[in-house]
Amino acid sequence: MMNTQALTLAHLYPEQMNIYGDRGNIIALERRCAWRGIELRVIPIGLGDVIDWSACDLAFFGGGQDSGQALIADDFLRRHSEPLARAIEDGLVMLAICGGYQLLGHYFLTHAGEQLPGVGVLDIHTVGGSKRLIGNIVVEVNWALESLEQPATLSSVQPAIRLVGFENHSGRTYHGPRVRSLGRVLAGYGDNGEDSVGGAVYRNTIGCYLHGALLPKNLQLADHLLLAALRRRYGNGATFAPLDDTLELQAQQIMTRRLVT
Ligand code: GLN
């Protein structure tokens, strides 16, 4: 039977918010869909653009320099905060990295003292520090990702997945009670370099500091996002073929072993 599944992904501010290969996340999602015969429509959202968030399955918001974030923060807040918050409550599958992650929170107070308002859909806030937190990072995911074998539940037993990435941020992000952590930092700094928290999860939205790009290096997370979006749109009838990820998984394992001592 021909696979006619299609997903729509909104890519927020690709011009201003794309750093350390974040666009690779879109390419990974596109390729992993194409290999399975799934159509992925990517809609870039620039300054001044509007979009019907209720028609989107996925969203991606990459990182940026403080100056890039300052250029788009106001537009993001004015045009997208309410409909995006509704879509996230409704289960939109979203990934936000670093600068994008910070702007999903309540605010980012930059090291220079400028307060950039966030849309507040994640219960986090970020404060810039004088020392940048730079280097490779490993985060061990402490909940079950969606997988072909089983839907995600907090209690299901799955071998812990170690995500590998690269971080470079001045912002220290602190969590409130309405987010849970994506995982525990085993190498590197993570959200704030103090409490070993690496990333935040709220409903189907994930934010974290892992550039690299994140998804080509961590296929379990790429497939988690796609599967969550497919199950949301097509229910249990969603089809999702397994792929041969031998080489990618080996690369991930080699890096995590090298970094976690
Ligand atoms: N400008 C933000 C910071 O330095 C985000 C950086 C990034 O996206 N890499 O914290």
Known catalytic membership, residue 211: yes
Q: To test ligand 1's pocket by mutation, which of 102, 104, 110, 116 has the most ligand atoms within 8 angstroms of CB?
A: 102
Say yes or no: CB of residue 99 within 6 Å of ligand 1. Answer: yes
Select from 60, 104, 111, 168 the residue to mutate for testing ligand 1; criterion: most ligand atoms less than 8 Å from CB.
168
* Averaged pLDDT for residues 86-104: 98
Indicate the residue type of 134: I
pLDDT at 207 over 60: yes
Predicted local distance difference test score (pLDDT) of residue 45: 98
The C-alpha angle 232, 222, 27, rounded to 5 degrees, equals 110
| CB 65 near ligand 1, within 6 Å | yes
The Å distance, Cα 86 to ligand 1 centre, comes to: 26
Distance in Å, CA 251 to ligand 1 centroid: 26
pLDDT at 255 over 90: yes
Tokens read off for 242: 């397994």
Q: Which of 80, 98, 208, 224 is catalytic?
A: 98
Domains and CATH numbers, the chain: 6-237+244-259 (3.40.50.880)
Please tell me the distance from the alpha carbon of residue 225 to that of residue 232, in angstroms, as a whole number: 11
- Tell me the C-alpha distance between 189 and 67, whole Å: 23
Helix (H) or strand (E) holding 90: none
Q: Which residues pair with 164 in a beta bridge?
A: 138
pLDDT at 154 > cutoff 50 = no
Mean model confidence pLDDT for the chain: 94
What type of residue is 12? Answer: L
Res 144: pLDDT = 82
List, for residues 104-150, the tens digit of each pLDDT value: 999 999 999 999 999 999 999 999 999 999 999 999 998 888 876 65
Measured in angstroms, how far is the CA atom of residue 182 from the centroid of ligand 1? Answer: 19
Q: Is 98 in the pocket of ligand 1 (CB under 6 A)?
A: yes
For the whole model, what pTM was predicted? 0.95
pLDDT over 50 at 6, yes or no:
yes
Q: Using a pLDDT cut of 90, give the percent of the chain over it.
A: 90
Query: Tens digits of per-residue pLDDT, 72-91?
Result: 999 999 999 999 999 999 99
CB of 63 within 6 A of ligand 1: the answer is yes
